[in-house]
Structure 1
Amino acid sequence: MEFVFGIDVSKATSNVAILVNGQLVKQFKINNNAEGFKILGDQLGSFTEPLIIFEATGVYSRGLENYLLQTDYEYTRINPLRAKKDMDSFRHNKTDSLDAIGLAKAMSLHHYDPTKLSDPIYSKLHALERFYQEQNEDIVREKGRLHKTLSITFPEIENLLSLTEGDLYWNLVQRFPSANLVKKYDISSLSKIIMQSTSKNEGLVRSRRIASRFIDLANESFSMTNIDYEIREAKYHAHEVQRIDHIKTKLIDEMAELSQNLPEIKILTSIPGIGIKTAVCLTAEWGDIRRFYSSNAINAFIGIDLIHYESGNYTAGDHIRKRGDAYARKILYKAILNIISASRTKPTNISLIYDRKKRSSGSKGTKKIVISAIHHLIRTIYHLVLNNETYDTKMFSAEH
């Protein structure tokens, strides 16, 4: 006999449907807490080798999944899009209770394989990386607020250094958010402050050059009045940007240490243009890449599989689906740009393909060319990881 538990997971509760040989025998609702999972466990214990299926619903299904792991039950965690497609043939209405029945029926019809459990390191990496991405979003907002405030208090300071980031810049903004504060110092005293504003050993010559530039910019600036609150705000945002940036650095260090024994990290960083940050973030997003049956499955996972649409005499241009891991797409997009930059001294099959398409397109459609390069990068990474090989520039260059 076949016993199937279909579980529709919501924020605080879950609906459970039990099918025996395809027939509904029981339905009940539980809270997603210790008491609710005990009720579920009692029901599971009443059947021999029950099949369990539920949709992946992000943080809401994590509790159920953890409970099943602790109690040694195999389960199938199905992608919501796959579940919808498979249930549409027999589900006409949608409610939580009907979804539970639909999931159980889908399991009875398709007999999905149990979810393969990856090394717990991947779950830990994923949690750290999502926290890292949250910090990324926060720092973008804070940088925007800092720029807006400095446009009032001292816009010229953004031209002081080549980059408007780093401890030196943020420390100077916190100390000199107004041009009037700079004008109180001469080059000698200001250069000493600059040398003390970063942990890096800024040389005296460079510090004096920055100090001279700083004073020139202060003299160019129009002195605003009645901006005490804006000055305080500029100091605050500069401090926040610096604080968040330090958190990001620590998270990358922690991910690097956690993943140092994963062979794919060494493989990824062997590709010219991919550094440790890209390697750990990408691994954290897509997990154990060996679980995918092909590189095309990875394309679908991150949402760069192509959609083709034709109707009558109309044919739409192919475009990517964008249903997938947006963070992984962003990481891969930046990875391609870094690979292209590194190709000046270390060309790869990826950069050669990018350059060839760039020339043939007349420099048009750069984003589409990058997406095409991402396809090739994924294929390359998938091949390397499955065969446990590091990147050989000569080998891949010869192939292309």
Structure 2
Amino acid sequence: MNNVIFGIDVSSRDSSVCEFVGQAKNEFKITNDTPGFTQLLKELQLFAKKPQIIFESTGVYSRRLQAFLDDYDYQYVIMNPLTAKKEMNQGLRYNKTDKNDACHLAMIQLQNHHPFFKKEAEAYHKMQSLDRSYDELTHDIVSAKNRLHRILQLTFPEIETLFNIARGENYWQIVKLYPHCQIVRNLNKDNIINDLLKIKSIGQKRAQKMADKLIDLANKAYPAASQDSPETSDAVYYADRLLQLTADRNERLEKMIFLAQTLKTDDLEILVSIPGFAKTTAVRVLAELGNIRRFKNPNKIDAFIGIDPGRYQSGQIDSHLGISKHGNAIARKVLYRAIGQIAQAAQFSPCHIAEYYAKKKSSQTKGFKKIAIASVHKLVRTIYALIINNQLYDYEVAKQNQRRKS
């Protein structure tokens, strides 16, 4: 009875189950709903000792199965689909069918004894869900910005020069007021100043300067669309959409920060102590990596986010490829971008990672991406060491540790 294994191949509406009891095999299908999970529960309860359960992570589809198993306190193995495919191809898979995949998953567990998934605090799951929504909203914001830019080229392209720094909420509110240059031309300066004063953080002096600039830009403009054109309405729509998307994204960020602060750890404070790590980056790293203490070593985090080196073996050929790109792509992207933030912050707050990055860049022996990924490796090791030792970042300590290793 020790080798009772349930391999489950999860699809959108139903799942194939392969039950191994010693050498005996039983295959059946279940629906991914209450009746189907009740059927699975009856099969699982036939055994005095709880069976081993293994399935692939298939996004939202496998989450329902995972929730069911958590509710009934069953341990399980969640396989990365790419890892599962690799192990299946090592002498297991001959025919591609759902039933075969379910049985092959069971055989993988029988042969390789993968560790059970360690359930994390509910706050981590909520944070990750919020971060996925945050990431989607970021994509929507980029898309809306591009559309607004294209429309303004027809109605009031000069308004894009109103702000010298990155355009944000104040700019979009001004675009809502003046989506077409003719609207500015139709108003006197006092009207424009009064409109601008209604926008938060714009005072009297700034409103007067911006009014002068808006009038000057409007007089220079030569629009391709008229004031009553659909493009003018579209400019208002996308400016308003950007304001709403930004508010929605900020709301999710605030919720993530609140959840991180409810954890019985100082992990958020520790991550923020790294130069260049604002709360946004820190909480997103926590949301995607989860409880960092569950990893046995930094290499496990590398594999989790897909920056571990790939390898190709065939006959006499044995070569190392670029990074595997398996695992959590969002975490990989957040950490990759963090390197640029750390490099910028180094002007005011020294960091050994920024120094490593600058040294590699100056050597110009590798491409930019390779240097950035090498820096992410170092960042992962720093994060892991700080969290495991429950320490804030200290530049001098980090430099001493670097000297010892070299």
- Relative to the length of structure 2, the TM-score reads 0.92
1:152 is matched by which residue type in structure 2?
L
- Partners of 2:143 and 2:193 lie apart in 1 by 31
Q: Could you say if the C-alpha distance between residues 316 and 209 of structure 1 is closer, same or farther in structure 2, counting changes exceeding 3 Å?
A: farther
2:217 alignment counterpart:
217
- Partners of 1:319 and 1:111 lie apart in 2 by 28
2:141 to 136, 139, 145: 139
* 1:327 matched to 2:330: yes
Deviation at 1:225, TM superposition (A): 4.7
2:303 alignment counterpart:
300
Secondary structure, aligned partner of 2:20: strand
Q: Could you say if the C-alpha distance between residues 15 and 158 of structure 1 is closer, same or farther in structure 2, counting changes exceeding 3 Å?
A: same
1:265 to 251, 268, 280: 268
Q: Percent identity?
A: 40
1:21 alignment counterpart:
22
1:109 is matched by which residue type in structure 2?
Q
- Partners of 1:240 and 1:321 lie apart in 2 by 37
2:127 to 125, 128, 144: 125
Q: Could you say if the C-alpha distance between residues 225 and 14 of structure 1 is closer, same or farther in structure 2, counting changes exceeding 3 Å?
A: closer
Per-residue CA distance 1:266-309 (angstroms, 9 max, x = gap): 11001111011111111111211222222122122222223366
2:389 to 381, 387, 390: 387
* 1:72 matched to 2:70: no
Q: Could you say if the C-alpha distance between residues 9 and 207 of structure 1 is closer, same or farther in structure 2, counting changes exceeding 3 Å?
A: same
- Partners of 1:307 and 1:136 lie apart in 2 by 30
Moved more, 92-101 or 306-315: 306-315
Secondary structure, aligned partner of 1:77: strand
Contact 1:347/1:397 (8 A) holds in 2: no
- Partners of 2:23 and 2:77 lie apart in 1 by 17
Contact 2:225/2:231 (8 A) holds in 1: no
Secondary structure, aligned partner of 1:259: helix
- Partners of 2:46 and 2:318 lie apart in 1 by 55
* 1:354 matched to 2:357: yes
1:339 alignment counterpart:
342
- Partners of 2:312 and 2:95 lie apart in 1 by 28
- Partners of 2:62 and 2:336 lie apart in 1 by 30
In the TM superposition, 1:18-97 aligns within 5 A as 18-24=19-25, 26-49=26-49, 50-88=51-89, 89-97=91-99
Structure 1, gaps ≥5 residues long: none
Runs of 4+ in 1 over 4 A off after TM superposition: 308-318
RMSD value over aligned CA atoms?
2.1
- Partners of 2:98 and 2:311 lie apart in 1 by 33
Deviation at 1:48, TM superposition (A): 2.1
2:171 alignment counterpart:
169
Secondary structure, aligned partner of 1:232: helix
Secondary structure, aligned partner of 2:19: strand
Secondary structure, aligned partner of 1:16: strand
Contact 1:302/1:326 (8 A) holds in 2: yes
- Partners of 1:127 and 1:222 lie apart in 2 by 46
Q: Could you say if the C-alpha distance between residues 254 and 359 of structure 1 is closer, same or farther in structure 2, counting changes exceeding 3 Å?
A: same
Deviation at 1:318, TM superposition (A): 5.0
* 1:180 matched to 2:171: no
Moved more, 114-123 or 75-84: 75-84
Deviation at 1:389, TM superposition (A): 1.0
Secondary structure, aligned partner of 1:118: coil
Contact 2:80/2:327 (8 A) holds in 1: no
- Partners of 2:319 and 2:70 lie apart in 1 by 46
Q: Could you say if the C-alpha distance between residues 225 and 128 of structure 1 is closer, same or farther in structure 2, counting changes exceeding 3 Å?
A: closer
Per-residue CA distance 1:150-195 (angstroms, 9 max, x = gap): 0100000000012453222111101101111111233333222212
Per-residue CA distance 1:227-258 (angstroms, 9 max, x = gap): 61110011001100111001011110111011
- Partners of 1:59 and 1:128 lie apart in 2 by 14
Secondary structure, aligned partner of 1:260: helix
2:245 alignment counterpart:
244
Contact 1:54/1:78 (8 A) holds in 2: yes
1:203 alignment counterpart:
203
- Partners of 1:211 and 1:179 lie apart in 2 by 13
1:278 alignment counterpart:
281
Deviation at 1:223, TM superposition (A): 4.0
1:72 is matched by which residue type in structure 2?
D
- Partners of 2:381 and 2:277 lie apart in 1 by 15
Contact 1:7/1:53 (8 A) holds in 2: yes
- Partners of 2:362 and 2:66 lie apart in 1 by 50
Secondary structure, aligned partner of 1:210: helix
Secondary structure, aligned partner of 2:54: strand
- Relative to the length of structure 1, the TM-score reads 0.93
Q: Could you say if the C-alpha distance between residues 316 and 195 of structure 1 is closer, same or farther in structure 2, counting changes exceeding 3 Å?
A: farther
Structure 2, gaps ≥5 residues long: none
Contact 2:156/2:179 (8 A) holds in 1: yes
1:104 alignment counterpart:
106
Per-residue CA distance 1:42-71 (angstroms, 9 max, x = gap): 111111221211111111111111111111
Moved more, 338-347 or 82-91: 82-91
In the TM superposition, 1:142-161 aligns within 5 A as 142-161=144-163
Q: Could you say if the C-alpha distance between residues 297 and 317 of structure 1 is closer, same or farther in structure 2, counting changes exceeding 3 Å?
A: closer
1:241 is matched by which residue type in structure 2?
L
- Partners of 1:388 and 1:361 lie apart in 2 by 36
Q: Could you say if the C-alpha distance between residues 313 and 194 of structure 1 is closer, same or farther in structure 2, counting changes exceeding 3 Å?
A: farther
Deviation at 1:4, TM superposition (A): 1.5
Contact 1:22/1:105 (8 A) holds in 2: no
Moved more, 79-88 or 33-42: 79-88
Per-residue CA distance 1:21-40 (angstroms, 9 max, x = gap): 1331x211110000001111
Contact 1:30/1:37 (8 A) holds in 2: yes
Contact 2:197/2:203 (8 A) holds in 1: yes
1:289 alignment counterpart:
292
